[in-house]
């Protein structure tokens, strides 16, 4: 579904990604782990069109997207939930969800749109109960739920998640990932950036480890989780066995 080959990016002549390659197959969950500054968010932003690669190729379902604008990429089915819970705080929860449907609302029927709302409500009853509330007044966990709900309203074929657990209490992190597990079981393809490496590797099918702009390890998540190198550098489990 997604093929990234040897992409390079730079900010003010400083290279961030240095020949990164990865693939995501339909229906799988791929995770990206690495320390702060490894290039994880830059890679996600390059895929969604927010950052233009200096070199390399990005293909989605056989089409080159490296030079496309973010709006075109979204309409193709790649939908990103950026870090920081990007919502429209001065608008109501319902208005935010309606804006999430903007890329597809002309292509779908009223019944399909209604079903989209009901699906989001089934995943996040907390959102359904606050439809008339200003989004900016929601708790951090509720805002993350809303941000994911908005993305789902866009009918993603590939969902890009950037640090969905960031800044949330453990009970809310569990709540978010329970919902992501539902989406995974429904066959939604997901590319996940997550600072919590243990959580990411427990959730994903395959993973990539980024370090200073390069892929230094890749493989099945179970294999990565059992790697002594990963356990020591990212899981804080040197010398321990799970």
Q: How far apart are CA 82 and CA 180, in angstroms?
A: 15
Tens-digit pLDDT profile for residues 149-199: 999 999 999 999 999 999 899 999 999 999 999 999 999 999 999 988 999
Q: Which residues have CB under 8 Å from 1's CB, separation 6+?
A: 24, 25, 26, 60, 61, 157, 158, 189
Residue 186, CA distances (Å) to 79, 179, 183 in order = 17, 11, 5
Structure confidence at residue 239 (pLDDT): 41
Q: What percent of the chain has pLDDT over 70?
A: 97
Residue with tokens 């950052």: 51
pLDDT at 7: 96
Which residues, other chains included, contact 51 with Cβ-Cβ below 8 Å and sequence gap of 6+?
9, 42, 45
Mean pLDDT along residues 128-137? 95
Ordered domains of the chain (ranges, CATH): 1-77+157-242 (3.40.50.300), 85-155 (no CATH)
Residue 238 has pLDDT above 50, yes or no: no
pLDDT reading at 208 higher than 60: yes
CA–CA dist 67, 36 (Å, integer) = 27
**Is the predicted pLDDT of residue 235 greater than 80, yes or no?**
no
CA 105 to the chain's CA centroid: 22
pLDDT at residue 13 in the model: 82
Task: For the full predicted model, state whether its pTM sits above 0.85.
Answer: yes
Res. 41: pLDDT tops 70 = yes
Model pLDDT, residue 12: 83
């Amino acid at each position: 579904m997604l093929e990234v080959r040897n992409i390079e990016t730079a900010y003010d002549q400083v290279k961030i990604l240095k020949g990164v390659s990865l693939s995501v197959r339909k229906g799988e969950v791929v995770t990206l782990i690495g320390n702060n500054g490894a290039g994880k968010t830059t890679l996600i932003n390059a895929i969604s069109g927010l950052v233009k690669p200096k070199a390399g190729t990005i293909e989605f379902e056989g089409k080159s997207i490296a030079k496309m604008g973010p709006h075109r990429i979204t309409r193709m089915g790649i939908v990103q939930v950026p870090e920081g819970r990007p919502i429209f705080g001065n608008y109501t929860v319902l208005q935010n969800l309606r804006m999430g449907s903007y890329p597809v609302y002309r292509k779908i029927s009223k019944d399909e749109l209604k079903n989209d709302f009901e699906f989001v409500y089934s995943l996040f009853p907390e959102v359904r109960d606050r439809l008339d509330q200003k989004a900016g007044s929601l708790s951090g966990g509720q805002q993350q739920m809303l941000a994911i709900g908005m993305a789902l309203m866009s009918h993603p074929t590939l969902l890009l998640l950037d640090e969905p657990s960031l800044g949330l209490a453990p009970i809310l992190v569990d709540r978010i990932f329970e919902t992501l597990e539902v989406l995974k079981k429904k066959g939604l393809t997901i590319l996940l950036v997550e600072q919590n490496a243990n959580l990411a590797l427990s959730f994903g099918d395959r993973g990539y480890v980024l370090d200073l702009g390069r892929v230094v390890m890749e493989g099945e998540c179970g294999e990565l989780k059992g790697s002594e190198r990963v356990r020591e550098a990212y899981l804080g489990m040197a010398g321990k066995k799970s």
